[in-house]
Structures are given as C-alpha cells and as structure tokens.
Amino acid sequence: MNYPRFLEQIHADIGPWLEKGRVADYIPELANVPLKTFGMAIVTMAGDVFRVGDADYRFSIQSISKLFACAMAFGLVGDSLWLRVGREPSGTAFNSLVQLESENGKPRNPFINAGALVVSDILCRRFVSAENAFVEFMRRLSGDKTIDYDLRVAESELRHSHRNYAMAHFMASFGNMNMPVEVVINAYSRQCAVAMSCVELAKAALFLGNQGIVPSTGERVIDETSAKRLSALMLTCGTYDAVGDFVYRVGLPAKSGVGGGIVAVLPGEMAACVWSPGLDNYGNSLAGVVALERLTTLTGRSLF
Ligand code: GLU
C-alpha cells in the first residue's frame, strides 16, 4: 500500500477545506489554535509510520480521550459498565442533557459527555489520581513518556464546565455517580486536556485493531472480545450525531474530539489520525472527515 503517496495527495488537495470549519471556542484556550493547520499520520500493525503536515504537533485530544478512558474502565469492570451506560447512538449533541431525564440518568453511550463522566467516575473510584492513571495509560500505548495534559486547557475547560456539572449532578440524583462531582469533573477535564500528536494517537489506537494487544510491545490492553466491542461502539457512536454520515463516507470506526482530531482504525492493518482544528456543525474536524474519506477512497480499504 503506497501510503506516502496517498498522504501527499490528500495534503495537496485539502487546502480549500481548511478555511471552512470553525475552531471550538466554548473552551477559550482551544480558540487560540490557528485554523489552517493540518496533519495526518498512519501507523501500520507492523510499526511503519507515515506522516504528512503537522502530524507531530501535539493538540488537545478532548473527546478522543473518551475512547481510551472507556477502554480502561471496560478492562476494569467488564460488562457491568453497561448497567450504568448504554451503547446506542444518542442522535443528540455530545453535551446535551435532554435524554438524561427520560432515561433515568443513564447516558446513551460512553462517548457523549454524560457517558464519559460515568466512565471517569469509575476511574476516580479505582485510582488515587484518575488523571495521572490516564496519562500513564496513554504513555504506555503510544510509547512516549513525555505525554501529559495541558493544565491551561484543563483549567480553561473547568471554568466553563457548567453543562458537565449539570449532567454529573443530574446523574448523581439518579444514583449514577459514586464519587464527588467535583472530583469527577476535575479528572475528566484533565483527561480531555491531554496533548498528543497524530503519530502518537495512531500508535495508541493500534491495539483496538489488533485484538486488544499493542503490536509493538505485545502488551494485552483488553481481551479480544472487548476490543471488538469497543471498535463497534466507535463505529456507531464515535463521531457525535453525524455518525451515520461519517460511516457512510469513511467506512471506519473512529473517535473525534473538539480539538480537531479524529482517530480511526482499520482492523488488522493500521490506525490513522488526522488533525485540523476547524470543526463542522457537529463538532467533527471538517477537513479531517474529508481527509479520511479520501484515504479510504484512494486505498480502496475500509471495513466494507
Ligand atoms: N472536554 C470537552 C467537553 O466536555 C470534550 C468535548 C468533545 O471533544 O467532544 O465539552
């Protein structure tokens, strides 16, 4: 597979799309990132790394963290996770409160904010510092010990966390929160504020396409069935309420974040990560979706 040529071609074609999106500004610190940046990386199961543009620039992973936090929690508590969080697409915005009341404080899935807060609650219960455990996990998966969260981004989010507080308190009122809400929101905001590059994120996601094992180290992260289940959840719930359109266009399980990153996995072959901070109306990187669509079209490789 001539990934270098495909990446070059995508990079050459992506220009017009870079100006069309809008940088997330509800977390003020995220609004400082220049709009017209673009990076993309592909890491194969064999360990080959291909990159283009700003693929080594560390950006705020935001909701991409939900995928990895969910892997941690799923590994810890197994199927009992689903007593507290559903696994259906929500069809509503990632930070919406509307379903929580009619569904008795049980979030639709772990990739919307409410579901991710339940996941954080599980991690806060298990670890003295859930945010440090998360950072350690990301260092292990990507093989880079310098990965950390960006305190300025975390604090910027914390100052604007009214909706997340509302969700967490609401879930607490239904008995779906075990730790103090402040502790959970703090850990969640720091987890979202982890800064990683496209190359690092693609490396970190490889285990999902490799039956739960990190290919470069042989470390088992989760069992084979759990890896399949998490990948299925990415496919159905990973790209906000535009997930149907995303899967139609790209054909890969993926997780996006409002920092402009999208990580995608082609089981058995590779993981890709694209970053461009201009978002579409749903919160997905506008150029990122186009780039992944181009990738699966040019290579003729997707799930389908
Ligand atoms: N930290 C962000 C929030 O809670 C994550 C949003 C996202 O990337 O979808 O609003």
Quick one: pLDDT at residue 29?
86
Q: Which of 79-93, 178-192, 254-268 has the lowest mean pLDDT?
A: 79-93
Q: Reduced to 3 states, what is the DSSP secondary structure of residue 152?
A: helix
The active-site residue out of 33, 52, 258, 274 is 258
| 144-177 pLDDT, tens digit each | 999 999 999 999 999 999 999 999 999 999 999 9
The ligand 1 site (C-beta within 6 Å) comprises: 62-63, 94-95, 113, 157, 164, 192, 257-258, 283
96 CA distance to ligand 1 middle (Å): 11
| 198-239 pLDDT, tens digit each | 999 999 999 999 999 999 999 999 999 999 999 999 999 999
229 CA distance to ligand 1 middle (Å): 23
62 CA distance to ligand 1 middle (Å): 5
What is the distance, to the nearest Å, from the Cα of residue 53 to the centroid of all Cα atoms in its chain? 21
| 247-304 pLDDT, tens digit each | 999 999 999 999 999 999 999 999 999 999 999 999 999 999 999 999 999 999 999 9
User: Do the beta carbons of residue 163 and residue 91 sit within 8 Å?
Assistant: no
| 22-74 pLDDT, tens digit each | 999 888 888 888 889 999 999 999 999 999 999 999 999 999 999 999 999 99
pTM, 2 dp = 0.96
User: Do the beta carbons of residue 288 and residue 260 sit within 8 Å?
Assistant: yes
Q: Please indicate whether residue 63 is annotated as part of the active site.
A: yes
In angstroms, the CA 288 to CA 256 distance is: 9
19: pLDDT confidence band, cut at 50, 70 and 90? confident
Backbone angles phi, psi at 242, to 5 degrees: -110, 20
Question: What's the first-to-final CA gap in the chain, in angstroms?
Answer: 17
Domain annotation for the chain: domains and CATH numbers: 3-299 (3.40.710.10)
Give me the mean pLDDT over the 191-198 stretch: 98
